[in-house]
Amino acid sequence: MKFSITGTKLTIEIDLAASQGVRKSGGSTIVDSTRGNMRLGVPGRDLRLGLNLYEPIVVPVAVVAAPAAAPAAAVAVVAAPVAVQTAAPVAVQAAARPSRPRRATR
């Protein structure tokens, strides 16, 4: 990454073919970075620049083909409604945390 200041213009030159590796999160590749904020060195001004140029890593999504035709009995079983009774919702409600009081508005 190269910087140049000519008059009141800042010019930044970055080689787009460069790579500084994959970010710690693994979600993108760093093309170039100032690695934090840096002072530009303009006389009489305290200008700082922080620049990150990155490219997201695209993970291909696998497509799973569905069977051509499912048996009629299987479709009927999947589509049939099932009634399930459980006491779990009552237990969850009893153990729920009380809500916090709202702050007074100004």
What are the strands of the beta sheet with 21-22, ordered from one edge? 21-22, 28-33, 52-56
Of the candidates 12, 50, 18, the residue with the CA atom closest to the CA atom of residue 31? 18
Asked if 39 contacts 24 with a C-beta cutoff of 8 angstroms, the reply is no
- pTM above threshold 0.75: no
**Both structure tokens of 18:** 């460069």
Radius of gyration for the chain, computed over Cα atoms and rounded to the nearest angstrom: 29
Higher-confidence residue: 105 or 8? 8
pLDDT at 80: 42
Q: What are the tens digits of pLDDT across the range 6-59?
A: 888 999 999 999 888 888 888 899 999 999 999 988 889 999 999 999 999 887
Q: pLDDT (tens digit, 9 = 90+) per residue, 71-99?
A: 555 444 444 444 444 444 444 444 445 55
Model pLDDT, residue 67? 64
